[in-house]
Each structure stands twice: as structure tokens, then as C-alpha cells.
Structure 1
Amino acid sequence: MSLPKGVSSVRSKGKAYWYHQDRRGRPDAGPRTALGEYGTPEFWDTLAKVTGAGPANPAPRANTFSHLIKHYKANCPKWGAYRENTRRCYETAFAHIEEVMGGLDPAAITIYDLLVFQSAFKAAETPTMGNIALSLVRSLMQWAIKQGLRMDNPARDVEQLDTNPAGARPLSEAAWRAITSPDAPEALRRYAVLARAIGQRISDVLPMAPGQRDEEGIQLTITKLRDQEHWCPLRPEEAEEIDSWVIEPCGKYITDGLGMPYAQSAFRRLWRQYEETEAGAALRGFTPHDLRATKVCDERIRGRPHQRIAAMVGMSLAMVMKYSKHIDQRLAARGAPLGQGWDASQKGKIE
């Protein structure tokens, strides 16, 4: 449901606060009115009062998935609290749900129906979007329960598709040489250095700027943790390399040839284009996300225990252990005590 002009939200510590203000941003702007939590009766009643739009948001019919989706987005507080990028991704998943199940009755959906729905993503080799869609179907089924449309949530018994059994893996030495060679685009080289130094996702690495440098580390926010603040230490040689980069005033560390920051899709395209060249051939099969595993394995080689790496990178202990399995098995095979790295002669060899 589209909101009337003058409605805006402000995020603070992961929570969205909604307001209405006529002629917002203009010198003759009207008073700003707090609307309360998105989707609640208070929200719609206050909005109706300040806009003169009539009664509170009416509940649409919910005897089809299409109507259930509209009702969910108009009334569920969680939907209003999602970030813009998250909602954009979820809208894509909702489109898939409507295309396949839009006319079905939520009260009659079975596990078999959901397995059929899920199989389309498996056939199209898009398991990640399939899992996002399944997660939203779970939320919709739970919403249907709250509306008294059914008593159970069959989506809870459907397992997610396997997106990558091995998970992220560390870059080989050949791949690292390829992405940091003079033949690689400057944006790729900078990304590789920065991402390997701090072990963050592409969504948090691309927007980074020199203003985030803080003493011997970098201050950032972790998007996946609802903008949780985090400080990542840097090794002296990493800090020296990063500080040596020429940056435009108020610019980002990683930009295109025109000095503009990269969108994730454009940067992934740059990565794929380079790996198709002779100089970048060793990068084939790797992704930007693999630099997170590279960071974890680097720290294991240096003798850091899993718990300390989790604190350094802002990652869950389970994820650190998943990424470090590429190193831990070799450490164990060489007889290294738990929590110790390889000897100096092995340092950096993570192929």
C-alpha cells in the first residue's frame, strides 16, 4: 500500500520512527506529527486524522495469498521497520509468491503445495531467492494464524534449499595474486585489501570511507546486524596500505573511473568481467564473499582462537568455525594444538 505524501521514517538503533509533515523540507513546512509504530491501529488512525483521509486502513479480504500479502504489508509492524533495501528484496520475493500462489487460499495450503512452490527455485537454480520467499511464506502463514484463517504453519516443516554446501572458502594464493596484480582494476585491488583486512560483507565494504579510520582500526556498522556499530582492528601493514590510497574529497575507498561509489550489482559485474580475462583467470569460482573466509583463515593461521576471531570480525562463533574448517583440518593433520597456527614457514599458505 502506498503511503500519502508527507509520510517519512527515521531510523535510530535499528528501529524505525514514522512521522507526517506537510510540505516536508520546505521553509513553510507544517508541524511534524509522530504516527506511532507502522501498521498499528494507532498509526492508521493518526495518519487519517492529520491527512483527512477518512477511516483507518481497512483490512482487505484475505482469502487469497494476494490479499494476504496486501494485508500483511499494510498492518504488520515488522514490514514498516525493514530497511529500504530489505523491502526491495522482499518485494521481489512477494512477486514470486503471487505469481505461483497468488490465487490460492492460505487456509488450504499444505506442505506439498509449498514443496511444489520451492521446486521452481531449485529448477531455476536460484536457491537463495527461494529461501527468502520461503521465509516470507512462513511469516505470511503466521500472519494468517493471527487473523484466524488457519491453526498451523506448514511452512515451518519445509527445509530451506541448500545454497552452497561448502560455504565461503578462502582465496587461493593464485587468486589473491590475480586480484592484487597491476592488471586488476583499481577498485578490485582496493576491495580485496579492505575486505581481507576486516572480513566484512560486500554491503559494508563498498560504502566505506576514510572518515571511518579510527586509531589502529576502522569503525563501521554491520548492516546484517541492523547497523550494529563495530570496530575492526587493522594490522600495521594493512593500515599503511589503506591510508596510502588517493581519495577524492568526501569520497569512498572504492569508486569507479568517475569517482562514483559502486552498487553491489555493478561491482559483482566488474569482478566477473575481470575473472574472464587471462590475468584474472585464477579468480574463477571465487566470489567477493570468499574474502570473509580468507580473513577468518588468516587469523587462524596467526593462532587466534575462534572466539577472538568472532569478536574481531563481528561474526557469530558458528560462522567463524564454518569458515575456518578449511584451515582447522590442516592444522589438526599437522598436529598443531588447538588455537595455534602454522609455523612461520607455512604462514599465508591457504590453498
Structure 2
Amino acid sequence: MSKVSLPRHVHRVVSGGREYFYYQEGRGTAHAGERIRLPDDPQTPEFWNAVRQAQGTFGPTPTDTIGALIDAFEVSWQTRQRKISKGTQVHYRRYLKPARKAWGDLPARELRPRHVDALIRKIGADKPGAANNVLDALKAMVAWANGPVELLTHDPTHGVERFAKGEGHRPWTPEQLDYAEKHFTGMIRRFYFLSRYTGQRISDVVRLNPNDEDDGGFSLPQKKTGVKPWCPIFPELEAEMQSWERRPGPFLLQEDGKSMGKPFSTNQMWKAFDRERQKHAVLTGAVPHGLRANAVIRLRGAGYTALQISDMVGMSVEMVEHYCRYADRKASGQAVLRDLQERNEDKIVKRWKSGNKK
């Protein structure tokens, strides 16, 4: 069996060529607790319900509930043929919590589309993006459960509609971009240039380091998706990097406090950016993810296709087109306006055959 991450106090024992699992607190110490035999397959709901019972949840625990199904789905990630990235695992766990809270003890066979629709509508009344994420996580779980594991025989998400997509994160305005390039200093300046010209998420920008450079670009598996784009190091970024010291580790290191000299976490970088943003009124509304939109719009304006941009930034073609839609419409409208102006000018200013104005 492929390796499975086991919870605390659960131990795997191999005897006679077979695997056995036990729950025992304080194993190997003078205060060892009772040794409790667990089911043989850690990929089943029965196994994880037995673990919960051993941890103190006494009494009969159903093994066919939505809560048990979510447990089984989560443990399956360790042995899937197509690996699920750590970022996606975190995403699924977060957005399956509302389902666990709403229907944790409900028998899975009794969950119906009307139940899912009611939950999605309730969440979407205030947070449509979160509602869509919950629905996506449920669909992923249901697709798995209806597969070879055969833990479900129906689709409780069938027909449940997503909320319409919003605008997404707005790109920075030309004034905001100009201000950042002229006034940002230190690590915030580095962060701005890396984000602006690679189009990567903040969680990936804080990890970029010289070892990720690959023949004129950056090649780094994205934390959220596992996708490995190849981001060209454009001349603007290359010129900025000329002054950066070459050393092991991330380009971005904290500049003060107890963590001075240590890499930024995603949250720490967000806080550092927010402190800087609060100093400058012109940056009101600007968020790091907006620079991701600026990056793809810039590339689209340079004539690259959505597929090429997807390869460079590691964003889906659909999302590239979503971010570029406004820019594309604006460019099309401006082209029409120029054409109309030229036609009007031709009507007003007639020319002789010699080319002189009449």
C-alpha cells in the first residue's frame, strides 16, 4: 500500500506480511494507554470513524455519513494516481467545512441537490466566490465518491448552479504602477517588481530565489496548483535585479523585527505590503493579486495569445481571457473610434487628385 499520513497516536505494524493499525496514546512509555485495534484499510470511512472513537468519541458512529465521506476523500489524496497539490488540499479542506457543519451526521445517501442548492444560496448571499468554492469542492468529492471507490451512487450536486463571476481582482491603475516604481524601496520594491513582471501569486513570489532561474526565466512549481510555468525575466525586471545581491535563499527577506533576515511567509508579506499601502493614498484599493492581472494584460497588449500567456504565468486560459476582457474591449473600442475619426476627416477634408487639400 502507498504511504498514508496517519493521525497522531495511530501506529502501523507489519506482521506476517500483513499491515495492522492500532491506536495507542503514549506508546513505548510508562504511561501507555489502551491499545485499540483499528480497521485494516485507512482509506475507508470505517477506519477514520474508529480513530475518532478511540480519541474519545464514544458510542456508535455511523460510517456512511457526509462527515465520514469527507474524511475518506481527504485520506484518498495520499494515494491518488494524479497527485493533488498541497495548496489544493488546503483549499478543499477549507471549503468542505461548511458541508461538514451542515450535514456531518446526515447519511450520505440522503443528501440531495435541494440541500446543496440551499447551502450554496445561503453562503452566496454574502460571499458568492466562497459559495462557488464550496460547490467546486463538493463536486470534486462527489466525482471521486462515484468512481471506483463506489461510496456514492448519485450526484447531490447535479443541477446546482454557480454564482456569476465577479470582476476579479482589479489591475493597478497606471498612476498606482507609476507611483510604486518611483517610490517603493527595499523588499517592498523587490516584491512589486517580481509580482508585476512574473504575474505569480504572492505565495510563489515570496519563494522565488536564484536557483529558480532557468535560461533567462523563472521556473518554479506553483504552491497552489503545482503547475510549473516558465516566466521570462523581462528587461524591466532584469534591470532591477542587477542591484540585488546574489546569495542562497529567497530574494525577499524581512528587514526588521525579530525575524530580520528570514524569508517572508505569504501572510507576513501581505502585512508588510498593507503597511506600505496605508502610507500612500494613491494606492487605495491596490492588492498584490491585482499585479497578476496587470502582468497578463501587458502580455496580451504585446500581442501574445491567451495560451502563450497561460504558459508564461501559469494561469488557466479561461482566467487569462477573464482578466484581459476589459483591456481587449477597450482596445477594440478605441480602434473603432480611430476608424470613425479617420472616416469623418476624409469627409471633411477632400483632396484634389494632386493630393492638395481642396
Same fold, TM-score > 0.5, yes or no: yes
**Is 1:234 the equivalent of 2:233?**
yes
In structure 1, the partner of 2:40 is 56
Q: Does 83-92 or 252-261 show the bigger shift?
A: 83-92
How far 1:94 moved relative to its partner? Answer: 3.2
Amino acid in structure 1 at the alignment position of 2:250:
K
Q: 1:107 to 1:328 in 2, by over 3 A?
A: same
In structure 2, the partner of 1:16 is none
Q: 1:4 to 1:312 in 2, by over 3 A?
A: closer
Q: Which has the larger radius of gyration?
A: 2
In structure 2, the partner of 1:271 is 273
Amino acid in structure 2 at the alignment position of 1:3:
L
Q: Given the alignment, which residue of 248, 251, 260 partners 2:249?
A: 251
**Is 1:285 the equivalent of 2:285?**
yes
Distance 2:232 2:118 in 1: 47
Q: 1:84 to 1:199 in 2, by over 3 A?
A: closer
Q: 1:136 to 1:328 in 2, by over 3 A?
A: closer
**Is 1:155 the equivalent of 2:157?**
yes
How far 1:46 moved relative to its partner? Answer: 5.7
Can you list the C-alpha shifts for 1:80-138, whole angstroms capped at 9, x where unaligned? 9433443334333333222111122221222221122223422453x444333322322
TM (norm. structure 2) is 0.69
How far 1:185 moved relative to its partner? Answer: 5.9
TM (norm. structure 1) is 0.70
How far 1:245 moved relative to its partner? Answer: 2.0
In structure 1, the partner of 2:89 is 87
How far 1:265 moved relative to its partner? Answer: 2.1
Q: Does 141-150 or 102-111 show the bigger shift?
A: 141-150
In structure 2, the partner of 1:347 is none
How far 1:295 moved relative to its partner? Answer: 1.3
Q: Given the alignment, which residue of 100, 106, 109 partners 1:107?
A: 109
How far 1:194 moved relative to its partner? Answer: 0.9
Q: Are the counterparts in 2 of residues 293 and 323 from structure 1 also a CA contact under 8 Å?
A: yes
Secondary structure, aligned partner of 1:232: strand
Q: Are the counterparts in 2 of residues 251 and 259 from structure 1 also a CA contact under 8 Å?
A: no
How far 1:332 moved relative to its partner? Answer: 1.5
Q: Are the counterparts in 2 of residues 195 and 292 from structure 1 also a CA contact under 8 Å?
A: yes
In structure 1, the partner of 2:50 is none
Q: Are the counterparts in 2 of residues 209 and 253 from structure 1 also a CA contact under 8 Å?
A: yes
Distance 1:334 1:134 in 2: 39
Secondary structure, aligned partner of 2:312: helix
CA RMSD of aligned residues (A): 3.6
Identity %: 25
Can you list the C-alpha shifts for 1:325-344, whole angstroms capped at 9, x where unaligned? 232222222328xxxxxxxx
Alignment of 1:118-133 (within 5 A): 118-125=120-127, 127-133=128-134
Distance 2:305 2:150 in 1: 49
Alignment of 1:154-303 (within 5 A): 154-162=156-164, 164-182=165-183, 184=184, 186-228=186-228, 230-246=229-245, 249-257=247-255, 258-277=260-279, 279=280, 281-303=281-303
Distance 2:182 2:231 in 1: 25
Distance 1:195 1:331 in 2: 24
Q: 1:272 to 1:305 in 2, by over 3 A?
A: same
Amino acid in structure 2 at the alignment position of 1:324:
C
Secondary structure, aligned partner of 1:221: coil
Distance 1:312 1:148 in 2: 39
In structure 2, the partner of 1:323 is 323
Q: 1:118 to 1:291 in 2, by over 3 A?
A: same
Distance 1:244 1:54 in 2: 59
Distance 1:310 1:149 in 2: 36
Q: 1:254 to 1:145 in 2, by over 3 A?
A: same
Q: 1:46 to 1:237 in 2, by over 3 A?
A: farther
- Long gaps (5+) in structure 2: 24-34, 47-61, 337-358
How far 1:263 moved relative to its partner? Answer: 1.7
Distance 1:54 1:154 in 2: 30
In structure 2, the partner of 1:69 is 70
Secondary structure, aligned partner of 2:167: coil
Distance 1:59 1:306 in 2: 43
Q: 1:236 to 1:266 in 2, by over 3 A?
A: same
How far 1:239 moved relative to its partner? Answer: 0.7
Secondary structure, aligned partner of 2:231: strand
Q: Are the counterparts in 2 of residues 206 and 262 from structure 1 also a CA contact under 8 Å?
A: yes
Q: 1:105 to 1:331 in 2, by over 3 A?
A: same
- Long gaps (5+) in structure 1: 8-19, 23-32, 34-44, 337-351
How far 1:203 moved relative to its partner? Answer: 2.4
Distance 1:289 1:119 in 2: 27
Distance 2:304 2:74 in 1: 45
Amino acid in structure 1 at the alignment position of 2:73:
Y
